[in-house]
């Protein structure tokens, strides 16, 4: 095996660890993480070494690589704005009642 191929395989493996770690933090289980890592690494190796029409795998890889970094909730908040209930923090007057100590 050539050192170029080993270096490429190692570099792609390190790059695929970033979204895999993000999915791990999100709570994915080990079999799903392993499947994601191996599939993405294999497609990346195929796209890097292939010539011709297999180069069209690059957009698929890009979407698969960036998807773990995008969260649905953050996207909804960004589109519709934060809809948090407004709390009343105005100091209230003491209620009229019997005087204390008098």
What are 24-42's pLDDT values in tens digits?
888 889 999 999 999 999 9
Task: State how far the Cα of 60 lies from the Cα of 44, in Å rounded to an integer.
Answer: 10
Q: Is the pTM of this model over 0.85?
A: no
pLDDT in tens, 40-80: 999 999 888 888 887 788 888 888 888 888 766 665 666 66
What phi-psi label fits residue 40: left (phi over 0), alpha (psi between -120 and 50 degrees) or beta? Answer: alpha
**Tokens read off for 49:** 């070494």
Burial (CB count within 10 angstroms: exposed 0-12, middle 13-18, buried 19+), residue 33: middle
DSSP notation for 13-59:
HHHHHHHHHHHHHTT--HHHHHHHHHHHHHHHHHHHH--GGGGGHHH
Quick check: 102 pLDDT over 60?
A: no
């Amino acid at each position: 095996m050539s050192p170029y191929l080993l270096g490429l395989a190692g570099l792609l493996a390190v790059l695929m660890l970033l979204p895999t770690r993000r999915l791990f933090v999100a709570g994915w289980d080990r079999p799903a993480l392993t499947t994601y890592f191996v599939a993405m690494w294999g497609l990346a190796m195929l796209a890097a070494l292939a010539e011709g029409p297999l180069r069209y795998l690059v957009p698929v890889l890009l979407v698969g690589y960036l998807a773990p970094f995008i969260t649905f909730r953050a996207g909804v908040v960004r589109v519709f704005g934060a809809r948090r209930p407004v709390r009343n923090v105005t100091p209230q007057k003491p209620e009229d009642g019997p005087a204390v100590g008098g």
